[in-house]
Amino acid sequence: MKALLVKYILHIDGFAGTSVGLLLLFFQDIASDFYQLPKGLILFLAGANVCYGIYALRLALICNRSLKVVTGLAIANFLWAIVCVGVILIYFEQASMFALLFIGAECIFVAIFGLCEWRCRFILVSRSD
């Protein structure tokens, strides 16, 4: 894997999660209408993304990361991909096509990042940037 990607993977992952979460939070009414999904689900998605993003950014900014926290982050990505699949399956008939595509893309994105973080977990531990 490219050294530059490994160096910034936690930054990119954290920024992506935080920004998506904040956008959903700030535009929850618009997102709910556009996605044709309940506002409570939008708030759940927003909150989970913000919490995850902040955690990933926190890890990105510390030099001495334990294997446990890096592994946990990778597993959290895999679990979130499963949640995305569940949301798609549960709301398939109700959600707009854009919502299904967006959540599907998020599923693929977090699964890829989870895989990258899993494969690079030993490199990401105690890395001095």
Write down the pTM of the prediction. Answer: 0.88
Domain count, the chain: 1
> Dihedral (C-alpha) 117, 86, 49, 40: value to the nearest 10 degrees?
-170
- Per-residue pLDDT at 129: 45
What mean pLDDT is predicted for residues 49-65? Answer: 92
Alpha carbons within 13 A on the beta-carbon side of 84: 22
Q: What is the pLDDT of residues 86-105, one digit of tens each?
A: 999 999 999 999 999 999 99
pLDDT band at 1 (very low <50, low <70, confident <90, very high): low
Q: How many residues are recorded in the chain?
A: 129
Distance (Å, rounded) from C-alpha 37 to C-alpha 88?
Answer: 11
Q: What are 34-43's pLDDT values in tens digits? A: 999 999 999 9
Q: Which domain holds residue 28?
A: 3-125
What torsion do the CA atoms of 22, 25, 27, 33 make, to the nearest 10 degrees?
Answer: 130
52 with 76: CB under 8 angstroms? yes
- CA distances (Å), origin 16, targets 22, 33, 57, 90, 109: 10, 23, 10, 25, 10
The span from the CA of 110 to the CA of 39, in Å, is 23
